[in-house]
Amino acid sequence: MLDIPSRVRVHVETLLAAQNDMGVCDAFEQYAPVGRPGAMNAPHPPKVAGIDSTVPAPAHTVAPPPAAPDTSPSSPSGPHARPAGALLQDRLAGWVSDLTTLNELTERLARTNGLDAALKELLRAGAALVGARRGLAVLEPDDGLGPDTTIGLGLARADLGHIETVPRSAMPYGTLLDTAAGLPGGDGEDVRPDLFAEDGLDPRHREVAGRLGYAACYALPLSTEAAGRLGAAVWFYDEPAEPAERRRHLAGLYLRFATEHLARLLDTERTRACMATVYEELLPSRLPRVPGVQLASRHRTGPRGGGDWYDALPLPDAALGLAVGSVTGAGPGAIAAMGRLRASLRAYAVMEGEDPVAVLSDLELLLRLTEPARSATALFAYCEPALRRITMAGAGHCPPLVLGERRTEFVETSVSAPLGMLACWEAPSVEFQVSSGETVLLYTDGLLHRTGESVDRAFARLHTAAASVPRALRHDPAAVADHVLHTVLPNGLDVTDGAEDVALLAARFE
């Protein structure tokens, strides 16, 4: 029995399971040459992305030269020939090293959760596998539904601009995207080992290659039978070169996995964009202009799409209705329920807006009869700009915040249950005055939840953010809303795809 080290034995089952996937029928004859292991089949993994953060220097060789015959005493033909078991262990260790490298790289790619991040990781890993320093990935799904994007590795924005001036058909990614070569079952690669030696090289391509300092390139399609053709990736060499057959095989295996991962991310991105579009269409397309009041709004949609909403509508007698609310749940059902609730509140506000309690009572009855399994919070304010008087009622919603030159305080509202939680909802309304130049801030609880803190600390953070609005910005409700949003949710917590929806409505009274 061969004395195979434990670090090799532990992967034997993995090797056997992956043998068919790698397309290798004889691992010892087809995958590794006989003799001393080369750079890609050494017992220890090479420095590649996922194992070492440093990308190796390009391997500028068309093919490894044949090994010179070994006439030393340790040569297999000499008196002290290496045993066959040692050669087997070397070859098997090289194969284990390559599979371990692929495992590390695919695990790193699987941890990405966005298209841009996945494409950047793909370029870094691919550059290490094919021995290049720079690269370019073009995402262009063949179904025409997008999104289309271009990501570079080691290329500045200006460099990408220069490359885009080259006729598409002259670039390797254009060949793969516009011909059958990039389709599943096509040629599957575009190898140009010495660009400046090509007789038919496009003059503009020659000029750009000289400007950017690359002399060779290697391109692979991002396509599989299941995902179709999503795009292509190309890596650039500083000198005439091309990756050896073994490196090309590993890169092809990696890109097969990468394409499937990109297809999943693409479906998620399209769903998210569709949900965001529906959400946008159900919110006010523009805010009304009412004498005596300036309005501004901000909203952020979670990845699944939720039920937070806001509204502002002119009412009879030069009045103004302001509303914010939140429907339980997420996804298409919550968005649809939000749209129905907002439309109903607008109708009730037009008929009986001067009585906010009646508006919310009717809304609660509608919700209980039509969607008994769902609850919602809401706040409706009836504003009289000429008198700077506001009458307001809330159903389980956060109290509004008033900020001005002399005060920054929450409006005292009565504690009430959300809509749909009780057999019959009713709560008293609150009436208060605002001074000239003061801003009333209405918001949903997503603004508090995104902070990740307790409710008390989140309210304190909101109060501090409102009090810290610079004096020069207080005349502009949009600037006030932006300052509050970015102060309460710093370090990217206010991005569109945060976990919670956020709706913010600011009304400044003149």
Q: Does residue 55 have a pLDDT over 60? A: no
Percent of the chain exceeding pLDDT 90 equals 52
Separation in Å, CA 328 to CA 331, 370, 421, 427: 10, 15, 12, 21
At residue 298, the pLDDT reads 92
At residue 305, the pLDDT reads 66
Token pair for residue 88? 């087997």
For the stretch 343-352, pLDDT in tens is 999 999 999 8
215 and 131 together in one domain:
yes
For the stretch 192-218, pLDDT in tens is 999 999 988 999 999 999 999 999 999
Secondary structure in 3-state letters for 389-438: EEEEEEECCCCCEEECCCCEEECCCCCCCCECCCCCCCCCCEEEECCCCC
How many domains does the chain divide into? 3
DSSP sequence for 86-134: HHHHHHHHHHHHHHHHHHHHHHHHHT--SHHHHHHHHHHHHHHHHT-SE
Q: Does residue 111 have a pLDDT over 80? A: yes
Span 303-320, average pLDDT: 86
Please name which of 430, 440, 380, 432 lies closest in space to residue 408, comparing C-alpha atoms.
440
SS3 498: coil
215 and 292 together in one domain:
no
Q: Does residue 35 have a pLDDT over 80? A: no
CATH number of the domain that residue 365 is part of? 3.60.40.10
247 and 353 together in one domain:
no
20 and 118 together in one domain:
no
At 89, the pLDDT band (50, 70, 90 cuts) reads: confident
At 6, the pLDDT band (50, 70, 90 cuts) reads: very low
Distance CA 492, CA 469 (A): 19
pTM for the complete prediction? 0.64
At 52, the pLDDT band (50, 70, 90 cuts) reads: very low
Distance CA 470, CA 488 (A): 15
Span 332-357, average pLDDT: 89
Domain that holds residue 146: 112-265
For the stretch 364-418, pLDDT in tens is 988 888 888 888 999 999 999 999 999 999 988 899 999 998 899 999 887 788 8
Q: Is 277 within a domain?
A: no
139 and 107 together in one domain:
no
Domain closes at, from 265, 293, 325: 265
290 and 439 together in one domain:
yes
Ranges 112-116, 328-332, 439-443: which has the least confidence: 328-332
At residue 496, the pLDDT reads 66
| Average predicted confidence (pLDDT) for the chain | 82
209 and 319 together in one domain:
no
Q: Is 168 within a domain?
A: yes
440 and 309 together in one domain:
yes
